[in-house]
Structure 1
Amino acid sequence: MNRRQFFITGAALAVSAAFLKPNDLGSPYNEYFTHLNNNLKSSKHYLPSMLVDLDKLDLNITALSNSLNKNVDLRIVAKSLPSPDLLGYIMEKSGTNKLMVFHQPFLNQITNDYPNSDILMGKPIPVQSAANFYELLDDTSDFDSTSQLQWLIDSQVRLEQYLKLARKLNTLLQVNIEIDVGLHRGGLQTIEELDPLLTLIANNPNHLKFSGFMGYDPHVVKLPSIIKSAEDAYLESQEIYQSFIDRLYQFDEHYTQQTLCFNGAGSPTIAMHKNHTVANELSAGSCLVKPTDFDLETLANFIPASYIATPVLKKMLGTNIPAIEFAKDLLPLWDPNMQQTFFIYGGKWSAKYESPKGLQSNGLFGSSTNQEIVNASKKVNLQVDDFIFFRPTQSEFVFLQFGNLLALRKQNVIAQWPILKNT
């Protein structure tokens, strides 16, 4: 390499390094999180906590109401909002008693807490789990499982299992049949599969009653547009759903005179059902607290309403990594977002940093559920005992990792709401 090539190569490397060098992303709390941090410190909640902002939740309830087709009912998804008080708050605000439940322990608790609720199971659970529900059902409860509970059935084999349970208990089970409208996660795939199930139900009127269909369609907004547009995927899912309804009415025209549950949607697609849907009720839950997995174009009218808050335990200058202590002051020279190190209470949640801006994990040090390491630039003016805020990626799992939910009003904790019992 001659001298001219050497300088050209050096200049190119310098330019590349300048483009690759991380920018300083740090900034202090905004006004909202400044107030929230100060109020949490005053309220003495110094454990990692899940927060639900009721002011933002109210706005999302309104946004959900505005997203609904006026001819459909709303069913709230309990797994996405796993707190009895939270569910009660949302049911009252949104004017519905309809819930979708996915977990037998949740089912038992909800039927005790809300005996007037109308429940559709959101997945087909093992028949023994269904038997456990009846065994644990409070005898003094006003909940009538024969009229207020629909079991989700995805196959003839499972229906036969539930029929045996109904005979054993000498009770009537309402049966909602899961259909595959394109997600391919289970349920009936062809209309020809429907007839044997309807026949079995018709032959056992004392123990089985057909109550409707459930067709879940989140794939509609997740398909790569190069393969199929969301609009085309939605129309296709609706055509599939309608074909099952048509087959039902052909099988027995008396079903046209009955009030049946044709459940559809889910948070990602609920807005697509507004102008036209074959469903008569739609389900939603996650959009009301909007974790990061639901930052979707179809949910642009919804705002984040849930956060994880955890206190800073330790603060250090630079980034000191075991065995490479010599790099403590060198790492921040390359990445200004490593100028400070914080260790927080807990960590490794399925969540993303929200405030202050510019926080980042340290891949060299590794993650910890005990004391997570967090790096930031000097523009992040955090002190020990200040709070770091995250947004959960989802609600149904992450909410269950904490104790009581902290309900906020104007950035103040006004209540502590227990979560649903997991066992």
Structure 2
Amino acid sequence: MTSTQPAHAGIARNRLWARLNEAVAAHGEPLPTPLMLVDLDAFDANADDLARRAGSKPVRVASKSLRVPALLQRALRHPGFRGVLAYTLAEAWWLHEHDVCDDILVAYPTVDRAALTRLVVSPSAAAQITLMIDDVAHLDMIDSVRASHAVPVRVAIDVDAGLWVGGRHIGPKRSPLHEADEVVALAREVVARDGFRLVGAMTYEGQVAGVPDDVPDQRTRSALVRRLKGASLTQLATRRGQVADALAGVADLELWNAGGSGSVAESATDPVVTEVSAGSGLLVPTLFDHYRSFEPRQASYFALPVTRRPSPQVVTVHGGGLVASGAAGPDRLPVPWAPAGLQLTSLEGAGEVQTPLTGHATGLLSIGDLVWFRHAKSGEPFEHTGTVHLLQGDRIVDSVPTYRGLGLAF
């Protein structure tokens, strides 16, 4: 427990430590580590909250933030959820073939020629999968792998949703399409070509959805982030309306996707938007702990065993180097969460084969005990395991495969 955390937070984390350890002990058979676990009660509560914040707009679940088919299906069973936002065409193909979902929007442009070759000859897959484009070259790539235009390919246009201030772009570096005339030019190219259907658009405001804005020990920075978010939402609402009006003269769109877990409510209020996306808000990794827009309910943990005690003030766990993607920094490191009162060391951090921990809670730990961690990003830790254990109450009720456990690497 750090100085910025109230005492009751440490108590809650120690109770969590006891509950998770008891659930593992009650399971009956040894569970290999890293032991990945999802708390279904928290997961379901988060799903309900996301649907509530989305209002009348459906929530499309972002598969990149889960990577566990059983959890994707669980989210889709919740009222208010509809469709999957996939991260590769190969993944979308697998979801289609295994009847996980019949409405799949691929969030990123694809140049996977093998997957495209399959798509353009499959009427059933092409009817359920929508590809993302932001360049005529993406259309050329699709045309290059087909011998005929008998199977129409559904496409959506990714429109830049960044904030522009004084000629500077703030937000994810995604689409080159910013102005309405740029979007319309690509839309006209789509409708003029045989074998394509323009069905949607996407504006992902990552600078709003994916940036914490209420960090306790960063009050000045958080205030600045909130101002930037407000300016971004105002600017984007105007520009999104302009783009939508311009596109109305070119095609009748089925969908306009926007938002992320941190901006569900704000994105859903825009009348142009027909659906919002969310994924990280279901599991709530550490990067989503400090948002004003919602109450975080941590639902995902991984456990590592204590294997050494180099000194009375240090314990060493086996493994631990599950570092999140993005700009390298302390916020990308896993956090030793339960018991409360443990920290990574500055010299070794989170290591691939061992991770030393310091702090007053080392006195509670013996060799063989489990330390429970939280990852910085959602979905990514499941690339390191074949199985995720599902907790309900104080019992592990199921063990399900991740994509990796199914032999899949997308």
TM-score (norm 1): 0.79
User: What's the RMSD between the two structures over aligned residues?
Assistant: 2.8
Partner Cα separation in structure 1 for residue 172 and residue 376 of structure 2? 24
Q: Is the 8 A contact 1:104 1:133 kept in 2?
A: no
| 402 and 353 in structure 1: CA distance in 2 versus 1, 3 angstrom threshold | same
Task: State yes or no: 1:285 paired with 2:279.
Answer: yes
Task: State yes or no: 1:232 paired with 2:231.
Answer: yes
Q: Which of residues 18, 32, 35 is equivalent to 2:16?
A: 32
Task: State yes or no: 1:212 paired with 2:200.
Answer: yes
Aligned to 1:422: 409
Can you give the 5+ residue segments of structure 1 that lack an aligned partner in the other structure? Answer: 1-20, 319-338
Q: Which of residues 83, 86, 89 is equivalent to 1:101?
A: 86
Aligned to 1:3: none
After TM superposition, give the deviation of residue 354 of structure 1 in Å.
0.6
Equivalences, count: 368
Partner Cα separation in structure 2 for residue 365 and residue 260 of structure 1? 51
Task: State yes or no: 1:190 paired with 2:173.
Answer: no
Q: Which of residues 393, 404, 408 is equivalent to 2:391?
A: 408
Counterpart amino acid of residue 95 in structure 2: I
Partner Cα separation in structure 2 for residue 99 and residue 189 of structure 1? 25
Aligned to 2:329: none
- Secondary structure of the residue aligned to 1:407 is strand
Per-residue deviation, residues 104-131 of structure 1 (Å, max 9, x unmatched): 3322221122265201011112152542
| 249 and 97 in structure 1: CA distance in 2 versus 1, 3 angstrom threshold | closer
Q: Is the 8 A contact 2:51 2:80 kept in 1?
A: no
Task: State yes or no: 1:313 paired with 2:295.
Answer: no
Task: State the identity as a percent.
Answer: 23
| 162 and 69 in structure 1: CA distance in 2 versus 1, 3 angstrom threshold | same
Partner Cα separation in structure 1 for residue 277 and residue 35 of structure 2? 27
Counterpart amino acid of residue 348 in structure 1: G
Aligned to 2:327: none
| 388 and 226 in structure 1: CA distance in 2 versus 1, 3 angstrom threshold | closer
Aligned to 2:166: none
Q: Is the 8 A contact 2:110 2:138 kept in 1?
A: no
Structure with more relative contact order (C-alpha pairs < 8 Å, separation 6 or more): 1
Aligned to 1:242: 241
After TM superposition, give the deviation of residue 33 of structure 1 in Å.
1.8
Aligned to 2:38: 52
Aligned to 1:262: 256
Once the two structures are superposed, the pairs formed by residues 334-373 of structure 1 within 5 Å of their partners are: 339=313, 341-350=314-323, 351-364=334-347, 367-373=350-356
- Secondary structure of the residue aligned to 1:267 is coil
- Secondary structure of the residue aligned to 1:30 is helix
Q: Is the 8 A contact 1:101 1:119 kept in 2?
A: yes
After TM superposition, give the deviation of residue 311 of structure 1 in Å.
1.6
Partner Cα separation in structure 1 for residue 228 and residue 190 of structure 2? 38
After TM superposition, give the deviation of residue 305 of structure 1 in Å.
0.5
Which one is further off, 290-299 or 390-399?
A: 290-299
| 148 and 133 in structure 1: CA distance in 2 versus 1, 3 angstrom threshold | same
Q: Is the 8 A contact 1:270 1:283 kept in 2?
A: yes
Counterpart amino acid of residue 182 in structure 2: E
Aligned to 2:160: 180
Q: Is the 8 A contact 1:41 1:386 kept in 2?
A: no
Q: Is the 8 A contact 1:263 1:282 kept in 2?
A: yes
Which one is further off, 395-404 or 260-269?
A: 395-404
- Secondary structure of the residue aligned to 1:210 is strand
Partner Cα separation in structure 2 for residue 283 and residue 240 of structure 1? 20
Q: Which of residues 62, 68, 75 is equivalent to 1:90?
A: 75
Once the two structures are superposed, the pairs formed by residues 54-203 of structure 1 within 5 Å of their partners are: 54-70=40-56, 72-114=57-99, 116-128=101-113, 130-131=115-116, 134=119, 144-168=124-148, 170-182=150-162, 183=171, 185-187=173-175, 188-203=177-192
Which one is further off, 363-372 or 223-232?
A: 223-232
Partner Cα separation in structure 2 for residue 364 and residue 130 of structure 1? 44
Per-residue deviation, residues 237-283 of structure 1 (Å, max 9, x unmatched): 12221111111123x3xx4xx45111100112112134444200100
Partner Cα separation in structure 1 for residue 365 and residue 10 of structure 2? 10
- Secondary structure of the residue aligned to 2:145 is helix
Partner Cα separation in structure 2 for residue 346 and residue 169 of structure 1? 51
Partner Cα separation in structure 2 for residue 274 and residue 380 of structure 1? 48
After TM superposition, give the deviation of residue 285 of structure 1 in Å.
0.5
TM-score (norm 2): 0.81
Partner Cα separation in structure 2 for residue 65 and residue 194 of structure 1? 30
Counterpart amino acid of residue 65 in structure 1: A
- Secondary structure of the residue aligned to 1:393 is coil
- Secondary structure of the residue aligned to 2:263 is helix
Counterpart amino acid of residue 35 in structure 1: R
Partner Cα separation in structure 2 for residue 116 and residue 46 of structure 1? 31
Which one is further off, 215-224 or 176-185?
A: 215-224
- Secondary structure of the residue aligned to 1:214 is strand
After TM superposition, give the deviation of residue 194 of structure 1 in Å.
2.6
- Secondary structure of the residue aligned to 1:297 is coil
Partner Cα separation in structure 1 for residue 128 and residue 348 of structure 2? 52
Can you give the 5+ residue segments of structure 2 that lack an aligned partner in the other structure? Answer: 163-170, 214-220, 324-333
After TM superposition, give the deviation of residue 310 of structure 1 in Å.
1.5
After TM superposition, give the deviation of residue 185 of structure 1 in Å.
1.6
After TM superposition, give the deviation of residue 362 of structure 1 in Å.
2.4
Counterpart amino acid of residue 343 in structure 2: Q
After TM superposition, give the deviation of residue 231 of structure 1 in Å.
2.0
Partner Cα separation in structure 1 for residue 241 and residue 262 of structure 2? 21
Partner Cα separation in structure 2 for residue 275 and residue 107 of structure 1? 28
